[in-house]
Chain A
Amino acid sequence: MTAENRTVVVTGIGAFTPLGGDAASFWEGLMEGRSGVAVLTEEWAADLPVRIAARTAVEPGDVLPRPLARKLDRSAQFALIAAREAWADAGFETPATDESSKLAPERLGAVIASGIGGVTTLLDQYDVLKEKGVRKVSPHTVPMLMPNSPAANVGLEVGARAGVHTPVSACASGAEAIGYAIEMIRTGRADVVVAGGTEAAIHPLPIVAFSNMMAMSKNNENPQQASRPYDKARDGFVLGEGAGVVVLESAEHAAARGARVYCEAVGQGLSSDAHHIAQPEPTGSGVARAIAQLFEQNDLDKADIVHVNAHATSTPQGDLAEIKALRKELGEHLDHVAVSATKSMTGHLLGGAGGIETVATVLALHHRLAPPTVNLDDPDPEIEADIVQGEPRKLPEGRIAALNNSFGFGGHNVVLAFRTI
């Protein structure tokens, strides 16, 4: 291996999600086919067109000490909790900046993305300004609302000095962060990178704004059935919140310290649609180009792909375009691929989606089990793919690989690939 093309592996995972407050409970929820969606009980939700969402299973304020939590936007709270779990899971006991650390901080990076950033801080502090005046606006507002705040806080937490980054590409942000981190290691900029996505946008303004785009499910009467990717009755996404973070590491570095390795992070495929600011390209051609690029630029066999954690947000157009793209690039092999739409359980975490779905993909390879897609009562006949329904699906023995797809408003397409070691 040259220094410019190093193998990257996953050595730690962390998740703070609507199904559970850590990676283990998140996985358990996925295996049980549990929905994290519920009716919003806040007073402000009562008159909204959409009154359902997937809140995190655990309140971050119950995990973080109050003096720390009050200086962090909810999105950064999620990211910090998930990053701490991933960091410890990778076997690191101290920040890299500690004298006792064997990891040089100059070789450690952090790439944490968010689609919208500190939107609740921004809006809440504007309310403070209007209602209580200039003096009451928190001096922490700017460091809380800036979109790079989760990345910066995770970087501070682990002592990252190789670079802290925040790619922003709406709902592809989390996946783009992980792809960026893979490249940082592959090209030799860092040996270890903490990477993932986070989002905390459950607030009346984003909900109404998405709803007015006709993007969200209004199935307020049946919250747990509202997110139904690939079902004929799908009518939009359900907003979720949370964070998923992984520790990526050069294979060499992981081996040298005897780290437990979940799987290889093979690489990414990227493209953009140049089609519409919010609509998916209906034939899936942009997504197909991202998948094609993944295979062109990485040493990855199509025949090894046995599982796809699909983007599948439960919108009529998007779910179908993605399957068309997979069919175009994988051809008949797609019939042997177990496709899972985990947003049927978690809702759509926007910039956090790529984070938690990468954790789900890594665990699917690790346990050799594909999560079910719930609420698929009446499958759309146009969806010509093997969607995992009901029970989790056993994945084959031997060398297997999986894709994690994420796409964002603006026409961003990110496909990540992982493979067993």
Chain B
Amino acid sequence: MATKDEVLTGLADIVNEIAGIPVEDVEVDKSFTDDLDVDSLSMVEVVVAAEEKFDVKIPDDEVKNLKTVGDAVNYILANAA
């Protein structure tokens, strides 16, 4: 089971890979769309990469609730296998 910091670091790597945002800018209060240049298409990529990295299922219906990095971290911590 990953810790909160590990999930945040892992998400930061994913966002860096997909959107080119420096890992240190990927913070819990940042909005994917407004702050991190992750549009709705790239968000699908983030979700798929996160599912693989953290062994978690993130249903399509859930994606719209993941507005900030913190939302994603919390969802992953609560639902990871």
- Identify the A interface with B (CB < 8 A): 65-68, 70-71, 135-136, 138-140, 143
List, in ascending order, chain B residues with CB within 8 A of A68's CB. Answer: 20
Q: How many residues of B contact A (CB 8 A)?
A: 10
CB atoms of A66 and B20 under 8 A apart? yes
Which residue of the partner chain, among A67, A136, A139, A140, contacts B20 with CB atoms under 8 Å?
A67
Question: Given A140-B41, A143-B41: A135 and B48 within 8 A (CB)?
Answer: yes
Is B45 positioned at the interface, with any CB of A under 8 Å from its CB? yes
CB atoms of A138 and B18 under 8 A apart? no
CB nearest neighbor in A for B51: A135
CB distance from A152 to the nearest CB of B (A): 14
Which residue of the partner chain, among B19, B37, B45, B51, contacts A139 with CB atoms under 8 Å?
B45
CB atoms of B20 and A65 under 8 A apart? yes
List, in ascending order, chain A residues with CB within 8 A of B19's CB. Answer: 67
B9-58 residues with Cβ-Cβ distance < 8 A to A are 18-20, 37, 41-42, 44-45, 48, 51
CB nearest neighbor in A for B44: A139
CB distance from B39 to the nearest CB of A (A): 9
Q: How far is the CA of A68 from the CA of B19 in the complex (A)?
A: 8
CB atoms of B41 and A67 under 8 A apart? no
CB distance from B76 to the nearest CB of A (A): 16
Q: How far is the CA of A103 from the CA of B41 in the complex (A)?
A: 31
CB nearest neighbor in B for A136: B48
CB nearest neighbor in B for A141: B41
CB nearest neighbor in B for A67: B20
CB distance from B21 to the nearest CB of A (A): 8
CB distance from B57 to the nearest CB of A (A): 10
Q: How far is the CA of A71 from the CA of B38 in the complex (A)?
A: 12
CB nearest neighbor in B for A68: B20
CB nearest neighbor in B for A143: B41
Q: How far is the CA of A140 from the CA of B48 in the complex (A)?
A: 13
List, in ascending order, chain B residues with CB within 8 A of A138's CB. Answer: 45
CB distance from B64 to the nearest CB of A (A): 14
CB atoms of A139 and B18 under 8 A apart? no
8 interchain residue pairs of minimum CB distance: A67-B20, A139-B44, A139-B41, A67-B19, A140-B41, A135-B48, A65-B20, A139-B45
List, in ascending order, chain B residues with CB within 8 A of A66's CB. Answer: 20
Which residue of the partner chain, among A65, A67, A135, A136, contacts B18 with CB atoms under 8 Å?
A67
Other contacts beyond A67-B18, A67-B37, A143-B41: 7, CB < 8 A: A67-B20, A68-B20, A135-B51, A139-B44, A139-B45, A140-B41, A140-B45
- Complex A-B: 22 CB contacts under 8 Å: A65-B20, A66-B20, A67-B18, A67-B19, A67-B20, A67-B37, A68-B20, A70-B18, A71-B41, A71-B42, A135-B48, A135-B51, A136-B48, A138-B45, A139-B41, A139-B42, A139-B44, A139-B45, A140-B41, A140-B42, A140-B45, A143-B41
Q: How far is the CA of A140 from the CA of B45 in the complex (A)?
A: 9
CB distance from B17 to the nearest CB of A (A): 8
CB distance from B61 to the nearest CB of A (A): 15
Q: How far is the CA of A70 from the CA of B44 in the complex (A)?
A: 14
